[in-house]
Structures are given as C-alpha cells and as structure tokens.
C-alpha cells in the first residue's frame, strides 16, 4: 500500500512517497533519491522494500525547496539538463537536515518499530554517507555515491553501520576518488565496501544505460542482507 506523507522541516513542509508493508510494526528505510526526483525508479525501490522485504519505505521529495514534485527520467537530454541544473543548486547541509527530519518523523510513526535505516543512489549515495555520519540512522547504504571523497574527514563520526557499493568504471567518480574512499574507509569497523569491476555509474538503475542485471541483483541482495542484520 502506498501513500503520501507530509514532513515538517525548517522553512516549511514537504512530501514523501510511502510504501507500507503488511506487518503492523516494522523497521523503516528512508530511500534517498537520485537527481531525477521521486520518480518511478525510486517508487519501485520503496515498493520492493515494502512488499518483498517487509520494510516501511519512505522516499522524501528533497528538491522541494527548489522545485516540488520533480519526477523525471534519464531518458532524454532535456531531463538530464533539468536534473543537473537542480543538482547544481542544492544545499548538501540542508538536505541532510531534511533527511534527519524524515528519520525523526518515520521513527515516531506507529507502523515503525523504532529502527530506521537509509539507502541512497548517485547524489543520494553521497547523502547516505552523510546520513550515516550526521544523523542517528541505524544503518545506511550508498550506491555509487558521487563526491564522497570530499567528506572523508567525517568518517570519524560513524557510530552505526555503513555499506557502500562502488562501480569501478564510474564515469562520475574518478579512479583517484575511488582509491581515496577505499583507503580511508576499508579498515573502519563500521564500514563494509563492495566494488564492482567493469560496472559504470547507476548499474543498479533498471532501464538505465549502464544497468547490469547480475551485479544489480548482487548489490541489492547484499543491501537486503545488511538491513536484515542491523534492522531486523
């Protein structure tokens, strides 16, 4: 069952897509969008987490301060231009605070058992890392996060488990950046790293140019196992 949830934040309120599981009380997962907004891909992630994994899944509209209800794809140059323009104007610190507001709201939802994790993709992968370092998320996962290398100093704040999926041929994350991320985090007790040889950015996005079914399934299975271990 899906619905819309209103989240209060500094400066106003914003909506979130919610997929509810059959269970009356379950762990929750905040799904952090790519640069294309709360689109069909993100809604499907929520639906899968609810239907097949039994989680309360919530995907907030993080572009709300710039343009509410963005829902585009990666299938045309015009949509790419719009997405990149939005990405160029967002405020990372404000977005993390908005994610914190979502976590607080969801944790208090009667359908949540008190455990809340987060999973993010692309830009959301960076935000998943920052969610792990700056909020009380119980477990966080980032897929091919862009720009994480610029925030590695925050790793000392990690108090809860973090998993990162790194595409070795990621066109948005240069090899040197990947090496910095791995060197800084590989021995951290809270961090699990997985690298995917031959894979490019967004290899887990169904319908995308670089989608790879086998490695997407592998990454998703690892994510579900991770959440089952730390969220239940």
- Rounded-to-integer distance, Cα 114 and Cα 103, Å: 10
Residues in the chain predicted with pLDDT less than 50, given as ranges, are: none
H/E element holding 49?
A: helix 40-51
- pLDDT tens sequence across 167-177: 999 999 999 99
Q: What are phi and psi of 169, to 5 degrees?
A: -110, 35
Compute how many other C-beta atoms are within 10 angstroms of the C-beta atom of residue 54: 15
Which residue bears the tokens 């891909």? 41
**Beta partners for 4?**
17
Residue 2: per-residue pLDDT: 61
Residue 23: per-residue pLDDT: 81
Residue 1: per-residue pLDDT: 56
| Dmax (CA) of the chain | 46
Give the torsion through C-alpha atoms of 107, 108, 114, 120, to 10 deg.
Answer: -10
Residue 90: per-residue pLDDT: 85
- Is the distance from CB of 160 to CB of 190 less than 8 angstroms? yes
User: What sign has the CA pseudo-torsion 225, 222, 140, 21?
Assistant: negative
Instruction: State the catalytic residues.
Output: 170, 201
- Is the distance from CB of 172 to CB of 194 less than 8 angstroms? no
Q: Enumerate domains of the chain plus CATH numbers.
A: 2-231 (3.40.50.1820)
Residue 170: per-residue pLDDT: 98
Of 202, 180, 192, 30, residue with least CA distance to 103 = 30
- Is the distance from CB of 200 to CB of 210 less than 8 angstroms? yes
- pLDDT tens sequence across 14-47: 999 999 998 889 999 999 999 899 999 999 999 9
């Amino acid at each position: 069952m899906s619905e819309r949830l209103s989240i209060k934040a500094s400066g106003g309120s914003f909506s979130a897509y919610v997929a509810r599981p059959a269970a009356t009380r379950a762990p929750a997962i905040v799904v952090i969008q790519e640069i294309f907004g709360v689109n069909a891909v993100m809604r499907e992630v929520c639906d899968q987490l609810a239907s097949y994994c039994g989680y309360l899944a919530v995907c907030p509209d993080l572009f709300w301060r710039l343009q509410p209800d963005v829902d585009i794809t990666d299938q045309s140059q015009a949509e790419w231009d719009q997405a990149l323009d939005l990405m160029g104007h967002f405020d990372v610190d404000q977005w993390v605070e908005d994610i914190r507001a979502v976590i607080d709201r969801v944790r208090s939802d009667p359908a949540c058992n008190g455990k809340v994790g987060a999973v993010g993709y692309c830009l959301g992968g960076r935000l998943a890392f920052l969610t792990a370092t700056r909020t009380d998320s119980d477990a966080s996962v980032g897929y091919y996060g862009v720009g994480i290398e610029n925030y590695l100093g925050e790793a000392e704040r990690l108090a809860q488990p973090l998993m990162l999926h790194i595409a070795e041929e990621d066109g948005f994350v240069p090899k040197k950046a990947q090496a910095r991320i791995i060197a800084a985090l590989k021995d951290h007790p809270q961090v699990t790293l997985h690298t995917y040889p031959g894979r490019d950015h967004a290899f887990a996005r169904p319908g995308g140019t670089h989608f790879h079914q086998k490695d997407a399934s592998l990454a998703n299975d690892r994510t579900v196992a991770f959440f089952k271990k730390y969220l239940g």
